């Protein structure tokens, strides 16, 4: 499970970086947002894969759309366009790995780690190419009022609390222990997200 955690952490962080790069966002302004979204998306993906809830994969897409909308402050329609388009692009290495394993190794069900590794490398390559040659789309209006979020004691505390909460929650969910505990944990996660969101952006709204 630790390997999956690490793999999905890098997968989602590189996915978000690639998306922002393709749509010409200034990445340095969104470091905390990327970290926060990655921390939430990582255990979600681990839960879906370890429990074979493949039909819940759509939750990942919906979550990213909501994050771009609420956390990155992108209009909902644009968030949908960004997420769906980059999801399709990010699926290319997955198809390539599936083809290689089936064509040369006669393996229909590809191991998860090679798939994740291929997607991470692909995301990094696309990000570097787009930044190097300034390739991308610029039709999405940027929120110029959004300032880089600084690390403060409260922000760091919230992030650490979120990491601990989702890590413990993921363990109990994957080990099929305590539905009541899971429900309480879910409520705690929502509270932390709400408080974090309020602390990070309330001053910008007031300004």
Q: What are the pLDDT tens digits along the chain (207 aa)?
A: 678 888 999 999 999 999 999 998 988 888 888 988 898 888 888 877 776 656 566 778 888 888 888 888 888 888 888 888 898 888 888 888 878 877 777 766 667 888 899 999 999 999 999 999 988 888 887 765 555 555 566 656 665 665 666 556 555 555 554 454 555 555 655 665 555 555 555 444 444
Contact 19, 82 (CB under 8 A): yes
pTM here is 0.72
Residue 30 per-residue DSSP state: G
Q: What are all long-range contacts of 165-169, with beta carbons under 8 Å and residues at least 24 apart?
A: 165/189, 165/192, 166/39, 166/40, 166/42, 166/43, 167/5, 167/43, 169/43
Asked whether 174 and 47 are in contact (CB, 8 A), the reply is yes
Instruction: Please give the C-alpha separations between residue 167 and each of 41, 71, 183, in angstroms, as whole numbers.
Output: 12, 21, 15
- pLDDT for the residue numbered 206: 46
**pLDDT value at position 15?**
95
Q: Cα(first)–Cα(last) distance of the chain, in Å?
A: 43
Q: What does the alpha-carbon distance between residue 97 and residue 112 come to, in Å, rounded to a whole number?
A: 10
List the chain domain ranges.
2-206
């Amino acid at each position: 499970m630790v390997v999956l955690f690490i793999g999905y952490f890098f997968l989602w962080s590189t996915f978000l970086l690639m998306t922002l790069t393709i749509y010409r966002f200034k990445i340095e302004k969104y470091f905390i947002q990327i970290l926060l979204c990655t921390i939430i998306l990582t255990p979600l993906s681990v839960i879906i894969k370890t429990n074979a809830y493949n039909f819940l994969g759509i939750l990942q897409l919906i979550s990213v759309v909501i994050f771009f909308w609420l956390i990155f402050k992108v209009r909902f329609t644009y968030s949908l366009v960004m997420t769906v388009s980059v999801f399709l692009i990010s699926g290319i290495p997955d198809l390539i790995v599936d083809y290689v394993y089936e064509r040369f190794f006669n393996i229909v069900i590809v191991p998860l780690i090679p798939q994740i590794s291929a997607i991470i490398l692909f995301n990094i390559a696309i990000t570097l190419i787009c930044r190097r040659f300034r390739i991308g789309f610029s039709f999405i209006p940027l929120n110029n009022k959004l300032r880089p979020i600084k690390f403060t004691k409260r922000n760091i505390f919230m992030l650490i609390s979120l990491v601990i909460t989702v890590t413990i929650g993921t363990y109990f969910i994957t080990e099929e222990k305590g539905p009541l505990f899971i429900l309480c944990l879910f409520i705690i996660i929502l509270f932390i997200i709400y408080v974090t969101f309020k602390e990070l952006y309330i001053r910008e709204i007031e300004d």
